[in-house]
């Protein structure tokens, strides 16, 4: 099953409702590459692990603009809500 299949199944279940996909850098990069996301929420926790997959960098062949919508800051994390602009 592909990321496209998973999104289509989620949309079918949600009906008119919104679909949220949780995951790490790999799933986010796949959704962005296939243009399957309208928005992005980043939860930034002040801990550095020293390893892992880069979230940002070259993703496909398109430049994407992220429009900040909301920022929620707590002592434990900062939550950044972005809209992905369509070109």
Residue-wise pLDDT tens digits, 52-79 = 777 777 666 677 788 999 999 999 999 9
The whole model's pTM is what?
0.75
Residue 84 CB neighbours (<10 A): 17
CA distances from 24 to 7, 13, 15, 87 (A): 16, 22, 25, 25
Q: Is the dihedral of CA 10, 15, 20, 26 positive or negative?
A: positive
Residue 22 CB neighbours (<10 A): 8
Q: What is the mean pLDDT of residues 26-36?
A: 88
């Amino acid at each position: 099953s592909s990321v496209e299949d998973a999104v289509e199944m989620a949309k079918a279940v949600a009906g008119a409702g919104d679909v949220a996909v949780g995951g790490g850098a790999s799933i986010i990069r796949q959704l962005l590459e296939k243009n399957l996301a309208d928005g992005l929420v980043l939860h930034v926790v002040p801990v550095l692990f020293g390893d892992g997959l880069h979230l940002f960098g070259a993703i496909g062949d398109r430049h994407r603009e992220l429009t900040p919508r909301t920022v929620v800051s707590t002592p434990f994390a900062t939550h950044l809500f972005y809209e992905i602009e369509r070109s």
